[in-house]
Amino acid sequence: SGYHNRDDATRAAFDAEGFFCTGDLGRFDAVTGQLVITGRAKDTIVLSNGENVEPSPVEEALVGSPLVDQVMLVGQDRKYLTAIAVVSIPALADAGLVPAETADRLEGQIPGPRDDTR
């Protein structure tokens, strides 16, 4: 496992115990014992082409929609930034939408340039 033909990047991405360093910050919930992600060690996401992306504007735009409960951006060392959104099914029903129409509805709320390929 690791980065293809990039031993240096693989070594930097895993700690001494073999855990992947995600850059996420978190805590364990005292009641449920579940891991709760609370933020990032650094906010800037660096795409594989070297482009630096600040995730906050995209996250804020999506979470600001009543259709979205949670959002996560993925893109570190990848070609594209991808938003993974957890939608609110009751809000979709109230808006008269089905899940397949949600991406089209949210698309106009995302700031900055984007590749609309799905």
Cα separation, 18 vs 28, in Å, equals: 20
- Going by C-alpha positions, the residue among 87, 115, 113, 111 that lies closest to residue 99 is 87
Any idea what the CATH number is for the domain that residue 7 is in?
2.30.38.10
**Which domain range does residue 76 map to?**
43-118
Count of residues making up the chain: 118
| pTM of the predicted model as reported, rounded to 2 decimal places | 0.52
25, 51: one domain: no
H/E stretch holding 43 reads none
- 116 — pLDDT class (breaks 50, 70, 90): low
Evaluate whether 27 touches 48 at the Cβ level (below 8 Å).
no
pLDDT in tens, 79-89: 888 888 888 88
- 52 — pLDDT class (breaks 50, 70, 90): confident
18, 58: one domain: no
Per the structure, the count of domains in the chain is 2
| 100 vs 65 pLDDT, higher one | 65
- Going by C-alpha positions, the residue among 4, 47, 6, 39 that lies closest to residue 22 is 39
Does residue 118 carry a pLDDT above 60? no
